[in-house]
Amino acid sequence: MAFPVNFYSFTKEVNSTAQPAGSGTTYQCQSNANFDIISPRLPLNIGAAANPTGLNYCKVPAWSRYYWVTRWAFEGGLWVAYCSVDPLASWKIQIGQTSAYVLRSAYSWDSDIIDSLYPTEAGPTISTQSADISSWWSDSSLDYTQGNFIVGLINKQGSTEYVKMTPTQFGQFATAAFSDTFFNNVATGQTWMTKAIFDPMQYLSSVTWFPFDMTGGTSTTAWLGYWDTGISCYAVAKYIDRSTTVTVPKHPQASTRGGWVNNAPYSSYILETWPFGRIALDPALLYGVTTITLVMTVDYISGSAILKVYQGSNDLTKPIIAQQTAQLGVQVQVSQVLRDYFGGAMGVVNGVAGAVVGGLTGSATGLIGGITGAISSAVNAAYPDVTTQGHNSGFAGLHGSWRMYGKFYTLVAEDITHRGRPLYQVRQLNTLPGYQVCTDTDIQIPCTRAEMDAIRGYLESGYYFE
């Protein structure tokens, strides 16, 4: 029997559906021998002088199949082409009409799917974004001459009132509370013992310094128990909120490789907020987020603060992605160091004793002398005592800028042409030119079982639809 075979000199990937253009060089196959259409042996009566060895591909129109020429031989005066079917080219139309779950594609992909095909280079890239808290405080403002004091005062009702004082007002208050002028107001009509008994510290519950100025508050004066010091201050609420936004740094390859590189393990984030410390943020909660909002709630009474980190810009309805507590207010230690009033006091005691003695019998004089000695000894023992309130904390925890670090690992160069990118969608295959990888391919093609197995193998291991 004789039938035409079109031969080509053709280059393409073995796992490609590409077909040669035109009719090529047509030879007649002359054979009465047995052969199969998967791996046919095609003898050609073209004469010994013909040299078809430069032809590596062919099509047998009668079988509607394309073949690779695996080798040429000259046998019995005939050139013989030993061939192997190319199922991808032979069944290109039917393959293209197939819909399959495409894992990777060089034509279309989902930029949010993590592509773990490529390793990363050693040594991450660090990107920094600063938070603007300059209106709150700065390193230069960490000084008692700046900021505000919150002072807890026990008033004449016996309850604690928290007032705000500027550094100047607090200095005036501290001076006035232990001044002779204030004491004279307290001790009017009282005996000398009043000063030994009266302790301004018992009406001072706490003093906390904050590194920023606090707005608002009702103007009032500072009271210590029943007595008004006359020092101006402001009654304030028990807490205050401060907020700022920070731009989230993104992976430098996100625009070219896809947003998935902004997720772990390729990206990690650290938020530095002092005194709250270093806070690790989950990259998954920052995915697709361009800014975060930092909200600091400060408790004036305890000096503690809570920092909450929200997704987005000034939208507190968004999820909280981190929360941390720290001591923001600096607890100030205050003390009452009394001067030695002993000599003057004894004069008063002696005077009082003399007046009493003048109205008593001699036996009573001894009694009065004993009382005077007992009193003077008790007062003398009390003078060296120092009453303290609170404890000295420090400025170190407040030192430093607020900023956000992004640590990014760089991916090695990719090869989209030969490896594609993740798609993970059901698609009709002829809509995705180029490289594809499919899975669980359901092939409905009227081909042989051997060809079907080969086609499925190519589609699921990676091939080119061309």
Label residue 393 by pLDDT band (50, 70, 90). Answer: low
Average per-residue pLDDT for the chain: 81
Residue 337 pLDDT greater than 80, yes or no: no
- Name the more confident of 202 and 9: 9
pLDDT band at 80 (very low <50, low <70, confident <90, very high): very high
CA distance 221 to 236: 12
Give the per-residue pLDDT at 214.
78
pLDDT at 181 over 90: no
Distances (CA, A) of 227 to 34, 53, 157, 198: 123, 116, 11, 12
Tell me how far apart the alpha carbons of residues 8 and 215 are, in angstroms, rounded to a whole number. Answer: 87
| CA pair distance 351, 346, nearest whole angstrom | 8
At residue 78, does pLDDT exceed 80?
yes
One-letter amino acid for residue 285 of the chain = L
Nearest to 464 by CA among 425, 416, 414, 418: 418
- Mean pLDDT, to the nearest integer, of 288-292? 91
Write down the pTM of the prediction.
0.72
Question: Quick one: pLDDT at residue 367?
Answer: 30
CB 250 within 8 A of CB 283: no
Structure tokens at 446: 């009227």
Q: Provide the pLDDT for residue 115.
A: 92
Helix H, strand E, coil C: the string for the chain is CEEEEEEECCCCCCCECCCCCCCCEEEEEECCCCCCCCCCEEEECCCCCCCHHHCCEEEECCCCEEEEEEEEEEECCEEEEEEEEEHHHHCHHHHHCCEEEEEEECCCCCCCCCCCCCCECCCCEEEEEECCCCCCCCHHHCCCCCCEEEEEEEECCCCEEEEEECHHHHHHHHHHHCCHHHHHHHHCCCCCHHHHHCCHHHHEEEEEEECCCCCCCEEEEEEEECEEEEEEEEECCCEEEEEEEEECCCCCCHHHHCHHHHCCCCEEEEEEECCCEEEEECHHHHCCCCEEEEEEEEECCCCEEEEEEEECCCCCCCCEEEEEEEECCEECCEEECCCCCHHHHHHHHHHHHHHHHCCCCHHHHHHHHHHHHHHHHHHHHHCCCCEEECCCCCCHHHCCCCEEEEEECCECCCCHHHHCEEEEEEEEHHHCCEEEEEECCCCCCCCCHHHHHHHHHHHHHCEEEC
Residues 6+ apart with CB under 8 A from 66: 19, 20, 57, 58, 59, 85, 86, 89, 90
Minimum mean pLDDT range among 194-203, 426-435, 440-449, 454-463: 194-203
Q: Is 413 or 183 the better-scoring residue by pLDDT?
A: 413
Q: Residue 236 contacts by C-beta under 8 Å, 6 or more apart in sequence?
A: 150, 162, 163, 164, 214, 216, 217, 300
Residue 453 is encoded by which pair of tokens? 């197995």
Every domain of the chain and the residues it spans = 2-86, 94-118+414-465
Mean pLDDT within 415-440:
96
% of the chain with per-residue pLDDT over 70: 81
Contact 349, 192 (CB under 8 A): yes
The better pLDDT of the pair 269, 142 is held by: 269
Answer whether 166's CB lies under 8 Å from 151's CB: no
User: How far is the C-alpha of 28 from the C-alpha of 79, rounded, in Å?
Assistant: 11
pLDDT of residue 410: 94
Closest CA to 51 of 84, 9, 21: 9
pLDDT band at 188 (very low <50, low <70, confident <90, very high): low
- 23 C-beta neighbours (distance < 10 Å), count: 12
* Cα–Cα distance measured from residue 109 to residue 102, given in angstroms and rounded to the nearest whole number: 10
Digit-coded pLDDT (tens) for 39-69: 999 999 888 888 899 999 999 999 999 999 9
